[in-house]
Each structure stands twice: as structure tokens, then as C-alpha cells.
A = this chain, B = another copy of it.
Amino acid sequence: MPLISPSRRLRRTPFSEGVEAAGVKAYTVYNHKLLPTVFRSVEEDYHHLKSAVQVWDVAVERQVELRGPDAARLMQMLTPRDLRGMLPGRCFYVPIVDETGGMLNDPVAVKLAEDRWWISIADSDLLYWVKGIANGYRLDVLVDEPDVSPLAIQGPKADDLAARVFGEGVRDVRFFRFGMFEFQGRQLVVARSGYSKQGGFEVYVEGADIAMPLWNALMEAGADLDVHAGCPNGIERVEGGLLSYGNDMNDDNTPHECGLGRFCDTQTAIGCMGRDALLRVAKEGPIQQIRAIEVAGGPLPLCDRAWPLMAKGKRVGQVTSAAFSPDHKTNVAIGMVRMTHWDEGTELYLETQEGRRDALVHENFWT
């Protein structure tokens, strides 16, 4: 692995001190900020995530805050998902598309109140799009990046750990809902969500000053639960089919191609960007779609580029994330496959930078 040159532009987070003390070994850059990728080893972190509980610095999930009388109207303009039934206290996964239906981001929208929303973003400067739209349509809304740094608690023992710090009530928070919980006199949004399939919470830490106190409180409270600093895990997320914007899809792709058609209510999400294009896509169906791909053979090279998926010398798709799964004892991958070859059990091959591998299409991921 190459080295990364530190600079202010690759912003540290309010948890960086804790991350460094825990022995972080590598980073990626996400929303111009450092995101840890390895603590002990990717494999060791994987087993630990699936058996204990981890605290993750996911401050890279920047928030775009919408505030004001037109906040709800703007939020609905941004996504084809129908938000009319969404109550405060809910989190919705919302594809964000441009006027052609190309994905600009796949964030979680957090509805704090009718006139106040957070959009918890994936890796692109969605703030710029939202500001441009708000400006161009002259909406009565303030759009900015607040001092909010999410911290995730993930793993099978996440409920136990969260309850020790936020109280037993946190156990009652349902999936993709949030409640307000107190820490050191501050009310924090604690949502049942997170970028793993192991369950847990995301705490929206408002105010950098309480970031390390919360980190330390979780580490102390969880000592006997084997709590450890962790991060989104490159094996676990591929096994579970959790997509990564910029890796598995980008603005070339529609939500339907990403298997997110169920979040596109283009008939009812009145006023949303990309409506015309997505109505067309919904009618015809996508011509390629995300699939689970099983890759034959031993350890793979690092998937640092799209690997062409081939059938009889013709390109029929690509793999964009891949890893060896210790639990499933096979190479797991995420790919985009054309409809001619996307059925369960289709045999393909792929071309990595280190040669050809046989590949098998699955309709479902491994968890």
C-alpha cells in the first residue's frame, strides 16, 4: 500500500486523537476528510465487528443542513423518494439524482423537524448541488455544513454498549428511527443505523468539543464487552451488499441500476429533479444492475479500478469492489451486470490487473 501525505485539506476529525491512540494503520479520504480503514488487520477487524462491538469515527459523513420554510420542499426536490409520509424522528435512505436521473449521492435524510433536515452524505460535495438548486430556484432556506460529526457503534453488542452510555431507552429505538439522548448535558440524535449488517447506532455528535469525551466514555463503558476502535469493513460490507458511492456507482448510474428502484416514487414525488428521466427508466427497466459476484481462485489483487466482467470475449459488466470472505470461504464482489447476463448462476470471467478469474453471478448477497 502507498503512503498518504497529510495536509490540512485532508481534514482531521474531532475523533482523530482517539483513532490514532487506537493504532489506526491506514486511511482512505472521504468528503475531504480522513476515514480509517484498518486497525489491527482488515480480517481481524472483520471477525471482531461480527462478534463484539466497535466504535467508528465516521465524521466523514458530513451533514448538509436545510433550515427554513422551504426546507421540506427542497428536500423533496432533491430525491425521487416520496417523503410525504415521513415524520420527524425518521431517517430515510434517499437517492439524490440530477435532471437525467444520474446519481449524485446516496445519503440518509434525517428529519429533525418540518423545517429542519440533515442529509448525511456519501463521498461527493452534495452541499454544492443543494446550494445551487436552492439559489437557482430562489428557495427560502439556509443550506450549510453544521458542526456535526457522526460516531457509529456497530456490532452484535452495540445495544449493550449504547445502553450503558445513553440509558436503557436507547434499546427501543427502531431501525432507521432516532431519539434524542443526553450525554454530558447535551441532547444528541442517536439513530439505529450504520454502514454494516451487524446492527447498531449512529450518534450525530453536535459540537466537536464533546467528541473525544463521548469516544472515551464508550471505550471505558465497553471494556468488558471487548469494545475496540473500528471502521467500515471492506469485507463485511461487500458480503452484505452495502454499496459505496464512487466505488460501485456514480453519476453514470440511475438508482434503478443500483437496485434502488424501490426508493423512486416518480409518480408521487411531485417536483423532484430527474423525474422525467426516471419515469422513463421505471417504465423500461434498467439494462444493467448491481449483482453479487462470486470470484473463483485464491486471494485477489486490490480492487483499485473497475474490473471488466466478460462473456465470450464481450464486456457485459464490471466488478468494482471485491474481497476474500473468511466466513464464506470465497471471494465476494459487487458488480454491475447487463441484463443479458444477470441471472442467478450465470458464468462469466473478469479481468483484474493480475489476470483472468472465473466469476459467478448471484442475485443475493451473502448475508
Contact = CB atoms under 8 A, between A and B. Distances in A.
A46 to B, nearest CB: 14
Nearest to A301: B6
Given A8-B306, A132-B133, 11 more contacts: A1-B3, A2-B4, A3-B38, A4-B28, A9-B246, A9-B247, A32-B124, A124-B125, A128-B132, A129-B132, A136-B137
Nearest to A245: B9
A123 B12 contact: no
A131 B28 contact: no
Quick one: which of A1, A129, A132 has the most chain B CB within 10 A?
A132
Interface residues on A, range: 35 or more
A99 to B, nearest CB: 6
B10 A27 contact: no
B135 A8 contact: no
A137 B99 CA distance: 13
Given A135-B136, A246-B8, A304-B12, A3 B32 contact: no
Q: Which 8 A-B pairs have the closest CB atoms?
A: A136-B136, A132-B132, A9-B246, A125-B125, A6-B304, A29-B29, A4-B4, A128-B128
Contacts of A10: 28-29, 304
A194 B98 CA distance: 32
Contact of A25 (B3, B98, B123, B306): B3
Contacts of A303: 7-8
A179 to B, nearest CB: 32
Contacts of A273: 135
A137 B247 CA distance: 31
A263 B6 CA distance: 30
A128 B124 contact: yes
Contacts of A99: 135
A113 interface: no
A244 interface: yes
A26 interface: yes
A132 B105 CA distance: 14
Contacts of A244: 7, 9
A26 B5 contact: yes
A59 interface: no
B28 A2 contact: no
Contacts of A306: 8
Contact of A128 (B25, B37, B129): B129
